[in-house]
Amino acid sequence: MIVAFSSTHDAMAFEDYCMRQGAEGRLIPLPKEISAGCGLAWSAPPADRVHVEELLRAAGITPQHLRELEV
């Protein structure tokens, strides 16, 4: 699952929030299949989608895209 952000500030803030919460995932370069305002994206297992959505709400961050990509 990929969370794309409209700004680098949002991407970094979400990474910081997730690290403090012990959430699984990491920042990666934005996949070429997605267009967004920021070149970074959060990658997490697809099974964690609901948890990631909860983390985004709790952090006060609105993603530009939240998508599952096939590998």
Over range 1-14, report the average pLDDT.
95
- pLDDT tens by residue, 25-58: 999 999 988 888 899 999 999 999 999 999 999 9
pLDDT 10s digits, 55-67: 999 999 999 999 9
Q: Where does the pLDDT of residue 71 fall: very low under 50, low under 70, confident under 90, or very high at 90 and above? A: low
Domain spanning 2-67: which CATH class is it, in words? Answer: alpha beta
Give 4's DSSP letter. E
pLDDT digits (tens, 9 = 90+) for 9-25: 999 999 999 999 999 99
Q: What is the CA radius of gyration of the chain?
A: 11
CA-nearest of 48, 46, 45, 34 to 5 is 34
Nearest to 61 by CA among 21, 33, 31: 21
